[in-house]
C-alpha cells in the first residue's frame, strides 16, 4: 500500500505510468513452489519495507515477472539472486549474504547467548562462595551521604 | 569496570546514529559503477517527427565518447524538476544526452515535451521497463554517466541538479577514454 | 485564540517541569521536606497544563481550524468526527503531545498513588520524570510545535492519512505510547534508587505494579498493531519485522525480562544491579524506538515526516537521559552488589536463565535492526536485514524460553528438587508430546516440523503453567473456594504464560499450514485453495463518507455448501489521492479466509490475493490473554494502591521517617 501512495503521489502531473500486459509465464508445480520460496527473500526496492511477495508496486510487479521468467528457464535460487544483486546490489536481498561483513550479524546473537550463559555460571558459582564467606552487609548511609554532598 | 559496559555500548551506538543521521537510507549505490554499461537496444521515440521510421539504437551507436543516460517519464514529478536544467545542459552541448522514456505512453511523452522542450539527443523508449531493470533503475529520474569505453562512471538518483552535475559528473567527463 | 492558549499552556508546563526537576533534587540534598513535597504539586500542575493544551488541539481539530498548520495537514472537513479526535495523534507533532500527556499522566499517578513509598523516593522519582518532561517539552516547543499557525489559511485541509482512518489504528498508537511512556516510571524508580543507594525488596515491590502496568499497555498496543496490519495492509501478514515494529518489540522483551527480574529482587533481594540496569534499558529502548521512527535513519513502513533536525534533538535527548542514567549506574551500581545463595535449579535461577534468553533475543533484534545503518556508516555498502534473518535468529532463541516457562511455575524458590519437579511435570510433558503428534496430523493430515515443535512448546507451556493453579484449587474442598484461594498474581502469571503458549500454537500453525494465492480472476471464475473454492462474482462501485471504492464480491464454498461471501474493497481517497486496500476476512478460531483486491483490468477481471490462515486468531488471542494476565497481576492485593485521600497522611509520615 505504501507503494501505491508513492506511485500516486508521483502521478501528480496527471500522466500515468504505462503497464504493458505481458504474456503469462506458465510454471510447473515445483517451479511455483520455488518461486513462492524465493520471493519473500527479495526486497521491493521502491517500497518502504516489503518483499516482492507482498508488494504491488509497479517495479515490484516487473521484478516479480522477471524472476518468474528466470524460474521458468530453470535458474537456481543463487543464480536468480545474483542476477538481481548485479543490478541492484545486496540491498535487494532480505536475507543478507554470509560474508565477513555480516559475520557479526549472523553469529553475534548466538555468541551472545554463550557469553551470557558463561557469565551466569560464574556468577552463580561466585555467589555461593560469597554466601558461604559472608552475611549480607547493609548499605552504609553515612558514607552515601558523604558521597552525595561532595 | 563491568558496570561501565552499558555506557560504552551506548556511546558506540550514539556515534553510529550521528553518522546515520547524515545518510539517506533510501539512496542505493549502483553495483554497475566501473562495469560495462548494460547492453540495450531500444526503439527511438517518434518525437518530434510522428512519422519517423522505427529505428533501434543501442550501446554501439553511442560508443567512443562519454554520454548521459537519463531515465525519465512524463508521469514522474522529479523529472519535471530537473527538466529545465537538462535543457540548459543540452544548450551547453558538453555531453550527449540520451533520454530513455520509462514506461510511458507515446501521446503523454509528446504532450510533455511539446510543453517543455526536448533536451535529449535521441529519446529511446523502454515501454515495459526491461532496460530499467538492466540498469538497476528503482525510481525515475535516474541519470547514468557512461564513459567513452562504455563503462558506467556514475549514477545519480533523483532530479539532476547543477551542483550534482558540477560535483559528480564533470570531473569524470574526460575519464574512461 | 484557542491554539494560543494551548501554546501558552505548553510553555507554562515547561517551566513547571523544570521546577519539578530542580526542587526535589535540592530538597533531597538539603533534606528539606517542603521542597520534596513540592514535587507532587508540580507534577499535578504540569499534568493539568498538558491536558489543557491537549484539549485545545483537540478542539482545533473538531472545528477543523485550518489556520493551525498541524490541523491543516491532518484534517479535512469531510473527516468523520471520531477520526478528527484521533487525528490529533495522526502525525509527528500531535503524537508528541500525546506522549507528553501520557508522561505527565503517569507522573500524576505517581504523585497520587505513593502512600507506601517514602516521600524522599517518590519525590526523586517525580524529579527524574521531570527531566524527561523538560526534554520532551523543549523538543516540542523548539522543533515540533503543534500550535504553529498557517497563513494564508487554506480553504481545505490535506486530510488524515487514510491508513490511519481505521478504528484499530486509531487506538493502537495511544496504547503503545502508554506502554513506552509507562516504562519511564520504572526508569525513574531505578535512577532514584541509584541516587539514594537504597535498593531493597520494598523498592522492587513498589516498582513492580508500575512496570507491569506499562507492560500491559505495550502488550495490548503491539497486539492491536499486528491485528491492524493484518486487516489493513492487504497481504495477510501479522508481523513484518519492520524497524518500527522492532522498535516496539525490543522494549517489550526488555520489559518482560524486567518484570521477571523484579520478581527475583522482591522475593530474594537478589539481582539488584541487573534489575536496575534492565529498568534503565527498557525505557532507553523506548526512546531509541522514538528516535528510529522519527529521524528517518532507517527505511520503515511508517512514514513520519522525517527531519534530521528532529532526529538530532532526540539523539541528544537520548544521550542525556540514558547517558546520565548509565553513568550513574557505572558509578553507583557496584555498591548494590548482593550476596546471596543462588542455585541454577531454583525459581530465581530459572528466571535468570529466562532473562538471558529474553535479553539476547532483544539484542539480536537490535543488531538486526541497526546493522544496515552500521554498515552504511562504515561505508561497507547497503544491505537489507529482513524477515528471513529475524525468523532464523529469533525463533531458535525462543525455544529454550518456552521450555523454561513450564519449569518456572513449578520449581520453588531457593532450591528445587529434580525428583519432585519430575513428579509434577511428567504428565504435562506427556500431554504436550501427545498433543504435538496428534493435533497437526488430525487437523492437517501432515506433521510439519515447525508445527510439531510449536504444538509441543505451546501445549507444554499452557499445561505446565496451569499446573500450579490446578493444584491449589484441588487442595481446597470446593471449586469456588479453590478459585478464590488463588492470589490474583498467580492467576495473572498463569494466564500470561498460557497466552504465550496459545500464541506459539498460532504462529506454528499459520506458518506451517497457511495457503496463499495471487490470482487473476475474470467475473464468475473460480479458484481452489486447500479445501475451499473461491468464486469471484465481480466488482462494483461503492461509496463511503470520504472515499469511493471498487468492491469485489467473492463467494467461498467448501465441498457443496456455501461458507460465506466476502466483500473486499479497494478505496480511493480523493483528498490525498490515496488508494487503500480494505481486505475482507471470514474468521473462526481454527482458520481465517482472507481476500484482498489487487489491480482491476479492462475486461472486468481483477487480481486477487487469497489466503487461508489456520489458527491465526490464536496469535492475537495469546496477546489478549497476556494483557489480561498482566491486569490481574498488577491488581494483586499486595500492590493495591493507596487512595488519594490517604496521600497527605502518607506524605507527612514518610517525611518524618526520612
Phi-psi region of C234 (alpha: psi -120 to 50; beta: other; left: phi over 0): left
Q: What span, in angstroms and rounded, lies between the C-alpha atoms of C104 and C17?
A: 9
- Secondary structure (DSSP) of A57-122: -HHHHHHHHHHHHHHHTT--HHHHHHHHHHHH-GGGBSS---SGGGHHHHHHHHHHHHHHHHHHHH
Cα-trace Rg, chain C: 26
Per DSSP, the three-state class of B163 is helix
Length of chain B in residues, anyone? 177
**Reported confidence tier of residue B5, pLDDT bands at 50, 70, 90:** very high
Nearest neighbour of C308 by CB, restricted to B7, B21, B28: B21
Note the pLDDT of residue C221.
94
Q: Which chain B residues are closer than 8 Å to A58 by Cβ?
A: 103, 129
Would you call C579 and A104 a contact, using CB atoms and an 8 Å cutoff?
no
HEC sequence for C337-371: CCCCCCCCCCHHHHHHHHHHHHHHHHHHHHHHHHH
Interface test with C, best of B11, B20, B155 (most C CBs within 10 A): B20
> Of B168, B172, B166, which Cα lies nearest the Cα of B157?
B168
Q: H or E element: which one contains C326?
A: helix C308-332
**Reported confidence tier of residue A50, pLDDT bands at 50, 70, 90:** confident
Which subunits have 3 or more CB–CB pairs within 8 Å of chain C?
A: A, B
B111: number of Cβ within 10 Å: 14
> Of B41, B33, B47, B63, which Cα lies nearest the Cα of B130?
B41
Which subunits have 3 or more CB–CB pairs within 8 Å of chain A?
A: B, C
Q: Which residue of B has its CA nearest to C373?
A: B20
Structural domains for chain A: 2-92 (1.10.8.640), 100-149 (no CATH)
> Are C512 and C454 within 8 A, CB to CB?
yes
Note the pLDDT of residue B6.
94
Largest Cα span, chain B: 80
Q: Which residue of B has its CA nearest to A67?
A: B133
> Are C536 and C554 within 8 A, CB to CB?
yes
Note the pLDDT of residue C484.
84
CATH code for B32-172?
Answer: 3.40.30.10
Nearest neighbour of A95 by CB, restricted to C353, C357, C389: C389
Place of cell 553510529: B16
Average pLDDT over residues A112-119: 94
Cα-trace Rg, chain A: 28
Determine contact: C342 vs chain A, CB below 8 A.
yes
Is the ipTM, as predicted for this complex, more than 0.90?
A: no
Looking at chain A from residue 51 to 80, which residues have their Cβ under 8 Å from any Cβ of chain C?
51, 53-54, 56
Would you call A15 and B112 a contact, using CB atoms and an 8 Å cutoff?
yes
> Of C454, C535, C533, which Cα lies nearest the Cα of C501?
C454
Looking at chain B from residue 2 to 61, which residues have their Cβ under 8 Å from any Cβ of chain C?
3-4, 6-7, 10-11, 13-14, 16-23, 25-26, 28-29
Q: Which chain C residues are closer than 8 Å to B21 by Cβ?
A: 295, 297, 308, 311-312, 315
Q: Which chain B residues are closer than 8 Å to A89 by Cβ?
A: 28-31, 136
Q: What is the DSSP letter of C147?
A: T
Would you call B80 and A88 a contact, using CB atoms and an 8 Å cutoff?
no
Instruction: Compute the C-alpha angle C595/C596/C600, nearest 5°.
Output: 125
Nearest neighbour of A88 by CB, restricted to B28, B73, B104: B28
Domain map of chain B by residue range?
32-172
Per DSSP, the three-state class of A45 is coil
Q: Which residue of C has its CA nearest to B2?
A: C330
Q: What is the distance in angstroms between the Cα of B120 and the nearest Cα belonging to chain A? A: 20
> Are A64 and A52 within 8 A, CB to CB?
yes
Determine contact: A29 vs chain C, CB below 8 A.
no
Mean pLDDT per block of 10 residues along chain C (658 residues) reads 93 96 93 89 96 96 93 90 91 92 95 86 95 95 92 86 78 90 96 91 91 96 90 81 90 96 88 93 93 76 64 92 96 80 86 94 95 92 92 93 89 86 89 92 87 94 88 86 86 93 94 86 90 91 88 91 92 81 89 89 87 93 96 80 43 38
Note the pLDDT of residue B50.
58
Note the pLDDT of residue A150.
44
Q: What span, in angstroms and rounded, lies between the C-alpha atoms of C326 and C114?
A: 26
Nearest neighbour of B4 by CB, restricted to C296, C311, C330: C330
Would you call B7 and C326 a contact, using CB atoms and an 8 Å cutoff?
yes
Write down the mean pLDDT value for chain B. Answer: 88
Q: Helices (H), strands (E): how many in chain A?
A: 6, 0
Grid coordinates given for C278: 534492565
Would you call A15 and B105 a contact, using CB atoms and an 8 Å cutoff?
yes
Would you call C334 and B3 a contact, using CB atoms and an 8 Å cutoff?
yes
Chain-centroid distance of CA C424 in Å reads: 34
Between B113 and C279, the more confident residue is C279
Q: Which residues lie across from A43 on neighbouring strands?
A: A51
Average pLDDT over residues A113-141: 74
> Are B65 and B98 within 8 A, CB to CB?
no
Determine contact: B33 vs chain A, CB below 8 A.
no
**Reported confidence tier of residue A49, pLDDT bands at 50, 70, 90:** confident
Q: Which residues lie across from B98 on neighbouring strands?
A: B69
Q: What span, in angstroms and rounded, lies between the C-alpha atoms of C497 and C411?
A: 15
Q: Which chain A residues are closer than 8 Å to B30 by Cβ?
A: 89
C28: number of Cβ within 10 Å: 22
Would you call A18 and B138 a contact, using CB atoms and an 8 Å cutoff?
no
Average pLDDT over residues B26-31: 84
Note the pLDDT of residue C401.
94
Amino acid at each position: 500500500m505504501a507503494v501505491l501512495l508513492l506511485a500516486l503521489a508521483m502521478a501528480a502531473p496527471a500522466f500515468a505510468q504505462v503497464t504493458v500486459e505481458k504474456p503469462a509465464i506458465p510454471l510447473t508445480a515445483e517451479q511455483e513452489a520455488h518461486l513462492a520460496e524465493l520471493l519473500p527473500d527479495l526486497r521491493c526496492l521502491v517500497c518502504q519495507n516489503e518483499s516482492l511477495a507482498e508488494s504491488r508496486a509497479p517495479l515490484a510487479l516487473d521484478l516479480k515477472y522477471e524472476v518468474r521468467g528466470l524460474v521458468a528457464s530453470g535458474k537456481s535460487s543463487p543464480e536468480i539472486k545474483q542476477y538481481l544483486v548485479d543490478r541492484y546490489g545486496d540491498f535487494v536481498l532480505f536475507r543478507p549474504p554470509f560474508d565477513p561483513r555480516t559475520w557479526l550479524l549472523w553469529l553475534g546473537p548466538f555468541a551472545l547467548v554463550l557469553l551470557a550463559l558463561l557469565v551466569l555460571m560464574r556468577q552463580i558459582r561466585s555467589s555461593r562462595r560469597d554466601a558461604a564467606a559472608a552475611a549480607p552487609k547493609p548499605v552504609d548511609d553515612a558514607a552515601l551521604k558523604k558521597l552525595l554532598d561532595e | 569496570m563491568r558496570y561501565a559496559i552499558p555506557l560504552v555500548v551506548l556511546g558506540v551506538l550514539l556515534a553510529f546514529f550521528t553518522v546515520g543521521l547524515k545518510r539517506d537510507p533510501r539512496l542505493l549505490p549502483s553495483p554497475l559503477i566501473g562495469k560495462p554499461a548494460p547492453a540495450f537496444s531500444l526503439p527511438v521515440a517518434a518525437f518530434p517527427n510522428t512519422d519517423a521510421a522505427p529505428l533501434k539504437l543501442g550501446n554501439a551507436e553511442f560508443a567512443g565518447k562519454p554520454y548521459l543516460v537519463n531515465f525519465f517519464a512524463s508521469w514522474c514529478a522529479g523529472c519535471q524538476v530537473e527538466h529545465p536544467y537538462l535543457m540548459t545542459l543540452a544548450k551547453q552541448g558538453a555531453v550527449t544526452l540520451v533520454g530513455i522514456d520509462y514506461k510511458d505512453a507515446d501521446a503523454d511523452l509528446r504532450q510533455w515535451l511539446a510543453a517543455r522542450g526536448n533536451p535529449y539527443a535521441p529519446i529511446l523508449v523502454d515501454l515495459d521497463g526491461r532496460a530499467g531493470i538492466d540498469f538497476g533503475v528503482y525510481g525515475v529520474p535516474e541519470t547514468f554517466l557512461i564513459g567513452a569505453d562504455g563503462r558506467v562512471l556514475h549514477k545519480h538518483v533523483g532530479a539532476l541538479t547543477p551542483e550534482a552535475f558540477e560535483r559528480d559528473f564533470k570531473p569524470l567527463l574526460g575519464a574512461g577514454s | 485564540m484557542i491554539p494560543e492558549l494551548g501554546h501558552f499552556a505548553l510553555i507554562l508546563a515547561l517551566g513547571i517541569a523544570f521546577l519539578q526537576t530542580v526542587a526535589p533534587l535540592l530538597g533531597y540534598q538539603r533534606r528539606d521536606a517542603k521542597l520534596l513535597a513540592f514535587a507532587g504539586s508540580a507534577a499535578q500542575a504540569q499534568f493539568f497544563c498538558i491536558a489543557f493544551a491537549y484539549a485545545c488541539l483537540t478542539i482545533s481539530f473538531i472545528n477543523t481550524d485550518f489556520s493551525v498548520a498541524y490541523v491543516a495537514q491532518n484534517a479535512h472537513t469531510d473527516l468523520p468526527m471520531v477520526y478528527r479526535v484521533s487525528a490529533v495523534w495522526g502525525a509527528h507533532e500531535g503524537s508528541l503531545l500525546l506522549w507528553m500527556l501520557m508522561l505527565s499522566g503517569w507522573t500524576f499517578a505517581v504523585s497520587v498513588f505513593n502512600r507506601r513509598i517514602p516521600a524522599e523516593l517518590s519525590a526523586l522519582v517525580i524529579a527524574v520524570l521531570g527531566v524527561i518532561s523538560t526534554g520532551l517539552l523543549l523538543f516540542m516547543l523548539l522543533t515540533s510545535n503543534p500550535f504553529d499557525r498557517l497563513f494564508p489559511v487554506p480553504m481545505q485541509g490535506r486530510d488524515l492519512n487514510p491508513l490511519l482512518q481505521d478504528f484499530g489504528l486509531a487506538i493502537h498508537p495511544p496504547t503503545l505510547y502508554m506502554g513506552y511512556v509507562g516504562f519511564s516510571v520504572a526508569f525513574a524508580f531505578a535512577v532514584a534508587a541509584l541516587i539514594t543507594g537504597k535498593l531493597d525488596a520494598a523498592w522492587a515491590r513498589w516498582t513492580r505494579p508500575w512496570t507491569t502496568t506499562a507492560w500491559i499497555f505495550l502488550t495490548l498496543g503491539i497486539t492491536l498493531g499486528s491485528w491492524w496490519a493484518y486487516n489493513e495492509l492487504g497481504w495477510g501478514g501479522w508481523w513484518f519485522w519492520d524497524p518500527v515494529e522492532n522498535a516496539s518489540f525490543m522494549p517489550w522483551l526488555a520489559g518482560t525480562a524486567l518484570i521477571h527480574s523484579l520478581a527475583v529482587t522482591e522475593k530474594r533481594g537478589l539481582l539488584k544491579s541487573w534489575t536496575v540496569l534492565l529498568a534503565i534499558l527498557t525505557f532507553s529502548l523506548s526512546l531509541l524506538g522514538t528516535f528510529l521512527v522519527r529521524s528517518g535513519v532507517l527505511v520503515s513502513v511508517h512514514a513520519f515526516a522525517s527531519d534530521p533536525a528532529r532526529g538530532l534533538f532526540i539523539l541528544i535527548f537520548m544521550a542525556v537521559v540514558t547517558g546520565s542514567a548509565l553513568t550513574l549506574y557505572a558509578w553507583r551500581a557496584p555498591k548494590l552488589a548482593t550476596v546471596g545463595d543462588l542455585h541454577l535449579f531454583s525459581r530465581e535461577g530459572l528466571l535468570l536463565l529466562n532473562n538471558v534468553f529474553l535479553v539476547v533475543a532483544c539484542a539480536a533484534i537490535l543488531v538486526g535492526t541497526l546493522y544496515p545503518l552500521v554498515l552504511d556508516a562504515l561505508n561497507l555498502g547497503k544491505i537489507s536485514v529482513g524477515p528471513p534473518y529475524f525468523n532464523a535468529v529469533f525463533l531458535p532463541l525462543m525455544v529454550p524460553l518456552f521450555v523454561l516457562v513450564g519449569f518456572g511455575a513449578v520449581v520453588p524458590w531457593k532450591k528445587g528438587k529434580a525428583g519432585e519437579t519430575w513428579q509434577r511435570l511428567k504428565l504435562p510433558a506427556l500431554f504436550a508430546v501427545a498433543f504435538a503428534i496428534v493435533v497437526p496430523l488430525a487437523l492437517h493430515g501432515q506433521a510439519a516440523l515447525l508445527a510439531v515443535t510449536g504444538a509441543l512448546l505451546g501445549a507444554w507451556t499452557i499445561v505446565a503453567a496451569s499446573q500450579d493453579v490446578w493444584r491449589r484449587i484441588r487442595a481446597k474442598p470446593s471449586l469456588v473456594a479453590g478459585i478464590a484461594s488463588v492470589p490474583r498474581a498467580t492467576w495473572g502469571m498463569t494466564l500470561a504464560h498460557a497466552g504465550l503458549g496459545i500464541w506459539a500454537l498460532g504462529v506454528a500453525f499459520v506458518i506451517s499450514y497457511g495457503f496463499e494465492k495471487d490470482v487473476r480472476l475474470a467475473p464468475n471464475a473460480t479458484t481452489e485453495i486447500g479445501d475451499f473454492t473461491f468464486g469471484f462474482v465481480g466488482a462494483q462501485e461503492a461509496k463511503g463518507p470520504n472515499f469511493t471504492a471498487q468492491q469485489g464480491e467473492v463467494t467461498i464454498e467448501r465441498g457443496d455448501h456455501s461458507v460465506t461471501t466476502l466483500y473486499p474493497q479497494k478505496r480511493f481517497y480523493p483528498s490525498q489521492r490515496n488508494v487503500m486496500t480494505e481486505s475482507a476476512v471470514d474468521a473462526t478460531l481454527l482458520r481465517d479466509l482472507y481476500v484482498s483486491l489487487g489491480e482491476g483490468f479492462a475486461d472486468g477481471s481483477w487480481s486477487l490475493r487469497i489466503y487461508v490462515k489456520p489458527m491465526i486468531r490464536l496469535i492475537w488471542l495469546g496477546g489478549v490473554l497476556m494483557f489480561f494476565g498482566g491486569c490481574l497481576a498488577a491488581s494483586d492485593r499486595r500492590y493495591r494502591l493507596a487512595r488519594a485521600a490517604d496521600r497527605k497522611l502518607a506524605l507527612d509520615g514518610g517525611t518524618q521517617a526520612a
